[in-house]
Amino acid sequence: MGSGENYSTGITGKPMDRFMLEAIAEAKKGLAEGGIPIGSVLVRKGEIVGRGHNRRVQEKNPMKHAEIDCLINAGRTGSYRDTVLYSTLMPCYLCAGAVVQFKIPKVIVGEARTFGGAESFMRQNGVEVTNLDLRECVEMMKQFIKENPKLWDEDIGEQDSQQINGLRR
Ligand SMILES: [Zn+2]
C-alpha cells in the first residue's frame, strides 16, 4: 500500500479462483494450529482430490510442507497428467521436485514475493507455472515471517531470513 506495487485484486476484487480460496483456507487452518500458513490443493477435472497445509511445526516433521501434505492426503491417484496443484506460496525445491517427478503439468501459486522458491526449476522441466500474485497471500506470509522469523528460517533451511528476498524486519 502506497508502495506502488500492483497486486492482483484477490478475493476483494473480481472473483478469485475458487481453488486458490481453498488453498488459502488450508493455510489459515495451519496458522490456527500454530503452524506456518501455507496451503495447497490438488485439482482434477474441476474437483479437489487432495488438500493439505504445512504441518512441520504441528507434527515436528520437516518434510510436511503444504504441497507434500496435500499429495499425501490425495493418496494414490494414478497419473497426475490431468491435475493442477495449487499452493498459496511458490513451491520450494522439495515440493517442486515432487511436481516434476510426478509430472504434474500445471502449478498455480498465490505469490512468490516472500519466497522465490523453485519457479525456474519447474519451468525448465516443462511445468506451467501461474503466479496470481495475491495481496492476501503476501500479507499472510509477511505477517507470519515477521512474528516467527526462526520458524520460517528453519522451514526453508536458512540461518537468517533477513537476507532472503530483501525482507526487512
Ligand atoms: Zn516445499
Q: How confident is the model at residue 5 (pLDDT cuts 50, 70, 90)?
A: low
pTM: 0.85
CA angle 123, 114, 91 (to 5 degrees): 35
Q: What is the pLDDT of residues 15-48, one digit of tens each?
A: 568 999 999 999 999 999 999 999 999 999 999 9
Rounded to the nearest whole angstrom, what is the distance from the C-alpha of residue 107 to the centroid of ligand 1? 13
Annotated catalytic residues are 67
- DSSP string for the chain: --S----B-GGGSSPP-HHHHHHHHHHHHHHHTTS---EEEEEETTEEEEEEE--HHHHT-TT--HHHHHHHHH---S--TTEEEEESS---HHHHHHHHHTT--EEEES--SS--TTHHHHHHTT-EEEE--BHHHHHHHHHHHHH-HHHHHHHTT-S-GGGSTT---
92 Cα: distance to centroid of ligand 1 (angstroms) = 4
pLDDT value, residue 8: 57
Counting every residue written for the chain, the total comes to 169
Higher pLDDT residue, 142 or 164?
A: 142
pLDDT value of residue 54: 97
Q: How confident is the model at residue 157 (pLDDT cuts 50, 70, 90)?
A: confident
Determine the number of helices (DSSP H) and then strands (DSSP E) in the chain. 7, 5
Give the residue with greater pLDDT, 32 vs 166: 32
List, for residues 67-126, the tens digit of each pLDDT value.
999 999 999 999 999 999 999 999 999 999 999 999 999 999 999 999 999 999 999 999
Mean predicted confidence (pLDDT) in 49-70: 96
Task: For residue 78, report the distance from its CA to the centre of ligand 1, in Å.
Answer: 22
